[in-house]
Structure 1
């Protein structure tokens, strides 16, 4: 049984273990694995405003996704950058799509208007994933980072979540959404997750 749920502080070790293998790749631009305390703080910082979701299989976290601010200035508050990480055991099994969709639906309910994916280029799997999820490639930043002995480009993807009114309401933190609404979204995409697992969805 696979489940999408909100992250808990008790997940820190499991999520850090999922993230650790990416440190040797160019998927993340981070050089050093964060400490347990630092990773715990990062989760708490996200949860103060945005969803931090866990993909769980038979009670074991196998992936996670979250949003964070696109920029620090006030005018950016309707836009967020998304991140998703899956363990090798979960990759390619259809879990990423429901997890990302659940994250975006919660952000839309909060009042967010646009989300962005920032992808090291080339990364064919992530680039294809964002395209399939309806993101539009905005462009490529050349030689934006240096890791593993080479300069790396970054591709920026964009997806609107809602319309763009002249006076948009300020987005609300996730914990100000009705709890039952959040649970309904998680249940909806958990059902999709398990339908995918049974081969009912492409």
Structure 2
């Protein structure tokens, strides 16, 4: 277990280090369908300005998390998709758990009533992380998209706020 000295709000100044962790996740083919890390402005515009954090240990960013709206429609304003990424060197050390707890608390403080995650079933760390944090499995999307000419499944998890 890593002792995280700080969890801070994710800001533009963190993007270079965040992007490295993001790229590592992309390269594993277990974290996202994305093929490349977006530019800061694109990423920033597509994520809530609240509920985005970096985990810092010994002045190094070792993980990050954020939420993105699932729709622009008013009825879905309290529904967000979760992203949690941890550096390869820090995986299986509790970093994801600390980040998601902070993200859940912040999301509830900001009126989010449902958090949603779409994961590759092969991403064992994430598949274990979400149920430990009160997310429930809601389904499997079989062969939802292709990645490198292979049809991939995703598993869906959601968490309803008990505070709203």
TM-score between the two structures when normalised by the length of structure 1: 0.73
What residue in structure 1 maps to residue 101 of structure 2? 101
1-structure distance, mates of 2:55, 2:127: 21
Q: Choose between structure 1 and 2: higher strand proportion.
A: 2
Give yes or no for the alignment of 1:39 onto 2:40: yes
Q: Choose between structure 1 and 2: higher helix proportion.
A: 1
Give yes or no for the alignment of 1:10 onto 2:18: no
CA deviations 1:78-131 (Å, max 9, x no partner) are: 111110001012111111111101111011111211111111223222111111
2-structure distance, mates of 1:128, 1:134: 11
Greater radius of gyration (CA): 1
Is 2:15–2:40's contact at 8 Å kept on the other side of the alignment?
A: yes
Superposed CA RMSD in Å reads 1.7
Is 2:9–2:52's contact at 8 Å kept on the other side of the alignment?
A: yes
What residue in structure 2 maps to residue 199 of structure 1? none
User: Secondary structure at the residue paired with 2:67?
Assistant: strand
* Superposition deviation, residue 72 in structure 1: 2.2
CA deviations 1:33-90 (Å, max 9, x no partner) are: 33xxx23441355354x32100001111111000111222111111111100010121
What residue in structure 1 maps to residue 23 of structure 2? 20
* Superposition deviation, residue 14 in structure 1: 0.6
CA deviations 1:139-177 (Å, max 9, x no partner) are: 01111111133111111101111356xxxxxxxxxxxxx
Higher relative contact order (CA 8 A, sep 6+): 1
4+ long deviations beyond 6 Å:
none
Gaps of 5+ in 2: none
TM-score between the two structures when normalised by the length of structure 2: 0.89
Equivalences, count? 160
User: Secondary structure at the residue paired with 2:90?
Assistant: coil
| Residues 68-79 of structure 1: pairs in structure 2 closer than 5 A | 68-79=68-79
